[in-house]
């Protein structure tokens, strides 16, 4: 979603702000801007619609260069008001305060009406401008910058991560957050703020993760943090394990391509220390996991997008293999439907960033509804909000994922859910030692099986040409492969802008078959399982309607190729756990190469953001 970067240093801050914005581009945005406090103590601002390179050109074209030692910058993803210069951040109120903002102020119309009566003029259509005016108004009655901000934020309903500067306090940046992530970077040449630690990797590896309600005052050599009640607090400094090379393209054309090929290593890293030669290490889910897993009677999974698809796969595993009831819901719906939550439920949230707004709020609501539940998050970010809200945490080790379309985060989530399934089954004696050993052996094979699957890229690349002039596609699967078909359809529409839908193959005659003709490509997944014969019958139904078909199969499935049907053998001897993970890979490659043919922005598709931190 939107990105924030700022800092107070002993050097010119403008190059650092631009570098930070570029590092945040992967999150998705439609405009960018910055404010720097000049040596003459004035707010100098530049804003541009589109890519950060447009802002960079804007700055280079200026006769009066924007320079200074303190500043804030922002990449905006439009919520209130169209993408336009006047709606871009930072926003300024009467030249006394400037603000960058992630989140949504829900009562902004009420505040705006009040501020207009106070004499403030609005130059944008955003909710953020009320923040700047509210702080400017508070400064009239407060004797410090800190108190002005503390007073103003008490009037806001909604979520925010804020970076604030003022000419009246030329040596200070104020940072505060509620429901939107914000970190402080502790550096040798100064102190910094960002919505994502990757924005600051060029200047520091030391980070402080602010808690909800915290207000921080940053000076060149001092950081002071106050909690939501105004008490001075200490927050730990965390040393980031992210390496700068991890966020470079290397020899790849796109981050998505790089991340597809990083999956064998990401899965090795996620499995490391979580399995032994023959068993799953239950304590990988937390020190209390053993006791909690003994008590739970059902599981509720809540997630969004790709993480939701991972949850759907896990439902099959948990009920079929671990023999425990499981429900899966979209977080944005779950949080508003007044759910009934039974005692002894394991409430599982899945989020790559750990900051997904709907998933985080669903977790908070569930805890309020029933305090006799247990909570587990599966996440790729150690210091995220969701990890702090959960009893148990399982960190996937996917590493930084820059491409908006999730790849390695998804497959490592599936690995985590497989380990969860096995752990619960072993603890509750629904999985035998022999079956546990078989699952562990299958998980160990995953990296080599994925490498084998990646060898099919050249063949998949040729198939992608078929989609050059297509506007729609249909994905089919049965059992866990239905969820993988959903993930394949999501990937294709995310980055190629082709309308794609997934259906259980058995549902064809209940409506979807009406869509099928020679212009509708159909992609099917055919593992060698108990539903294979029924799937083959479904494929015959599709072919009799003249469709162009692509079938990704287990080598042992032996789907008979027909006219206008291409059968791609992926690998063999896949089990219930490994098959969904492996069949994900060709669908990722297909969507990637179709996007290349369509000439879309693979890593930053239109209208999408990497981390959805607002509703």
Q: Which residues are catalytic?
A: 2, 610
Residue 536: half-sphere exposure toward Cβ, Cα within 13 Å: 15
Strands of 20-117 (E only): list them.
31-37, 43-49, 70-76, 91-93, 97-102
- How far CA 249 is from CA of 97, 194, 198, in Å, comes to 38, 22, 15
Tokens for 390, please give them.
């959960």
- How far CA 383 is from CA of 183, 379, 387, in Å, comes to 10, 10, 7
Rounded Cα distance, 143 and 139, in Å: 7
Strands of 240-395 (E only): list them.
298-303, 326-330, 345-351, 374-379, 392-395
Residue 181: half-sphere exposure toward Cβ, Cα within 13 Å: 29
Tokens for 598, please give them.
């369509």
Local structure of residue 566 (DSSP, 8 states): E
Rounded Cα distance, 325 and 346, in Å: 10
Tokens 């210091």 sit on residue: 383
- How far CA 477 is from CA of 508, 509, 535, in Å, comes to 11, 14, 8
Q: Is the peptide bond before 90 cis (omega within 30 degrees of 0)?
A: yes
Rounded Cα distance, 292 and 18, in Å: 47
Q: Please, which residues have CB within 8 angstroms of residue 143's CB and are 6 or more apart in sequence?
A: none
Closest CA to 470 of 598, 306, 603, 287: 598
10 Å Cβ neighbour count for 189? Answer: 15
């Amino acid at each position: 979603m939107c990105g924030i970067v700022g800092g107070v240093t002993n050097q010119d801050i403008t190059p650092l702000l631009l570098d930070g914005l570029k590092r945040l581009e992967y999150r998705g945005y439609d405009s960018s801007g910055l404010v720097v406090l000049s040596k003459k103590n004035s707010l100098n601002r530049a804003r541009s619609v589109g890519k950060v390179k447009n802002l960079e050109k804007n700055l280079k074209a200026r006769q009066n260069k924007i320079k200074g030692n303190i500043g804030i910058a922002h990449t905006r993803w439009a919520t209130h008001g169209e993408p336009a210069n006047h709606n871009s951040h930072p926003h300024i109120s009467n030249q006394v305060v400037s603000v960058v903002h992630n989140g949504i102020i829900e009562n902004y119309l009420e505040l705006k009406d009040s501020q207009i009566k106070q004499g403030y003029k609005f130059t944008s259509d955003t909710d953020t401008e009320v923040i700047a005016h509210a702080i400017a108004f508070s400064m009239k009655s407060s004797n410090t910058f800190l108190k002005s901000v503390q007073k103003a934020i008490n009037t806001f309903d909604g979520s925010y991560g804020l970076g604030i500067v003022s000419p009246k306090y030329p040596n200070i940046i104020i940072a505060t957050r509620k429901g939107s992530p914000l970190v402080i970077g502790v550096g040798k040449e100064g102190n910094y703020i960002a919505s994502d630690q990757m924005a600051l990797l060029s200047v520091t590896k030391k980070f402080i993760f602010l808690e909800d309600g915290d207000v921080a005052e940053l000076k060149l050599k001092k950081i002071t943090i106050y909690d939501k009640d105004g008490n001075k607090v200490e927050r730990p400094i965390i040393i980031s394990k992210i390496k700068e090379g991890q966020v470079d393209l290397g020899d790849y054309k796109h981050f998505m391509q790089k991340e597809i090929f990083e999956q064998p290593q990401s899965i090795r890293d996620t499995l490391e220390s979580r399995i032994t030669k023959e068993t799953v290490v239950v304590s990988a889910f937390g020190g209390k996991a053993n006791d909690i897993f003994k008590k739970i009677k059902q599981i509720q999974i809540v997630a969004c997008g790709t993480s939701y698809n991972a949850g759907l796969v896990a439902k099959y595993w948990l009920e079929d293999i671990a023999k425990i009831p499981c429900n899966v819901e979209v977080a944005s719906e779950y949080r508003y439907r007044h759910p009934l939550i039974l005692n002894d439920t394991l409430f599982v949230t899945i989020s790559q960033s750990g900051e997904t707004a709907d998933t985080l709020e669903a977790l908070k609501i569930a805890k309020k509804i029933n305090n006799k539940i247990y909570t587990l998050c599966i996440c790729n970010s150690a210091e995220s909000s969701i990890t702090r809200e959960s009893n148990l945490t399982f960190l996937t080790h996917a590493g930084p994922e820059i491409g908006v379309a999730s790849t390695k985060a998804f497959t490592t989530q599936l690995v985590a859910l497989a380990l969860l399934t096995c752990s619960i089954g072993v603890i509750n004696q629904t999985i035998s030692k022999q079956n546990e050993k078989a699952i562990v052996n299958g998980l160990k094979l995953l990296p080599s099986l994925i490498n084998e699957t990646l060898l099919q890229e050249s063949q998949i690349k040729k198939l992608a040409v078929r989609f050059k002039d297509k506007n729609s596609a249909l994905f089919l699967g049965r059992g866990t492969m239905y969820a993988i078909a959903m993930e394949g359809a999501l990937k294709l529409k995310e980055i190629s802008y082709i309308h794609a839908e997934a259906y259980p193959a058995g549902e064809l005659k209940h409506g979807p078959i009406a869509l099928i003709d020679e212009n509708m490509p159909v992609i099917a997944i055919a593992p060698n399982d108990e539903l294979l014969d029924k799937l083959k019958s479904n494929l015959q139904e599709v072919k009799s309607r003249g469709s162009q078909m692509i079938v990704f199969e287990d080598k042992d499935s032996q789907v008979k190729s027909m006219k206008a049907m291409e059968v791609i053998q992926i690998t063999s001897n896949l089990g219930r756990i490994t098959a969904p993970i492996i069949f994900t890979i060709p669908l990722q490659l297909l969507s990637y190469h179709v996007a290349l043919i369509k000439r879309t922005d693979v890593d930053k598709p239109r209208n999408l953001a990497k981390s959805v931190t607002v509703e």
